[in-house]
A = this chain, B = another copy of it.
Amino acid sequence: MAKPLIMLGAGGHAAVLAEILLQQDRELIAVVSPEPIKESSPLFGVTQIISDEEFLTIYSPQDVELVNGVGSIPKNNIRSQLLTFFTEKGYRFARVISPKAILSNFLTLEEGVQIMPGAIIQVNTVVGKNSIINTGAIVEHDCTIGINNHIAPGVTLSGGVITGSDVHVGTGANIIQGIHIGQAAVVGAGTTISRNVPAGQVLIPARSRVIS
C-alpha cells in the first residue's frame, strides 16, 4: 500500500506538485518548510514541520515517502543534496506523475521522477532518479535522461537525446535528434542545440535585438 507523503519545501514547485497530489487523492500529511505557507497555495492547511531535523524525529523511513518539492535552478544543488541526504538515512522518494501528462506505455521512470501537466514522453525513453520533466516539455522516443535533471517548461528534446547527471535544459530550449549533453551542462533558456555539449558547459542563445 502507498505510504503517506511528506513534501520537502513549500515554494512554487512544491505548490504545483501538491495540486497534482490533491487531484490524485494521495495522502499528503505534512510539509517541511521554515517559512509560513501562503494562503493561496494548495499546501495551505497542511501540517507544517519547521526543519529537516524536526522531521527526522517524527517520521521513520518505514512510515512515509518523501516528495522533493525544491525546484531546480542551474548551479544550485539543494534539490540533489536532499535526495542524497534522505536516501542515506533510508527514506524513499515518491514519483509524482500528472494525470494530465501524455505518457507512452513503454517508459522507465526511476525513483522520485516528477512529470508535470502537459508534458509528453514518447516510447522507449528512460528518466533518471529525481529528474523533473516540467510543464508542457516534450521528450521524444528513445531518449535517456540522467539523474537530477531539470527539463524545464516548454523544452523539446528530439529522438535519441542522451543527458548525463545534473543537466539543466532551460525554458523552451530545443535539442535535435541523437545529441549527447554532458554531466552538469546547462542549456540556457531558448537555446537550440545541434551538436554534442561537453560536461559542465553553459550555453545561452545569441543576443536578441532591441528594435525600438
Question: Which A residues form the contact surface with B (CB < 8 A)?
Answer: 12-13, 15-16, 19, 38, 40-42, 71, 100, 102, 104-106, 117-118, 120, 122-124, 135-136, 138, 140-142, 152-154, 156, 158-160, 170-177, 188-194, 200-212
Selected contact of A138 from candidates B154, B159, B202, B207, CB within 8 Å: B154
From A118, which residue of chain B is reached at the shortest CB distance?
B120
Evaluate contact between A208 and B205: CB separation under 8 angstroms. yes
Evaluate contact between A118 and B106: CB separation under 8 angstroms. no
Selected contact of A205 from candidates B40, B123, B205, CB within 8 Å: B205
- Please report the C-alpha to C-alpha distance between residue A208 and residue B41 in the assembled complex, in whole angstroms: 37
Knowing A120-B136, A140-B12, A154-B138, say if A203 contacts B210 (CB, 8 Å): yes
From A207, which residue of chain B is reached at the shortest CB distance?
B206
Main secondary structure on A side of the interface with B? loop
Knowing A117-B102, A120-B117, A175-B171, say if A15 contacts B141 (CB, 8 Å): yes
Evaluate contact between B201 and A210: CB separation under 8 angstroms. yes
- Please report the C-alpha to C-alpha distance between residue A64 and residue B104 in the assembled complex, in whole angstroms: 27
Knowing A12-B140, A156-B171, say if A102 contacts B100 (CB, 8 Å): yes
- Please report the C-alpha to C-alpha distance between residue A159 and residue B41 in the assembled complex, in whole angstroms: 14
Evaluate contact between B192 and A205: CB separation under 8 angstroms. yes
- Please report the C-alpha to C-alpha distance between residue A123 and residue B191 in the assembled complex, in whole angstroms: 26
- Please report the C-alpha to C-alpha distance between residue A154 and residue B154 in the assembled complex, in whole angstroms: 8
Selected contact of A209 from candidates B16, B105, B204, CB within 8 Å: B204
Evaluate contact between B156 and A176: CB separation under 8 angstroms. no
Evaluate contact between B118 and A42: CB separation under 8 angstroms. no
Evaluate contact between B141 and A154: CB separation under 8 angstroms. no
Evaluate contact between B204 and A208: CB separation under 8 angstroms. yes
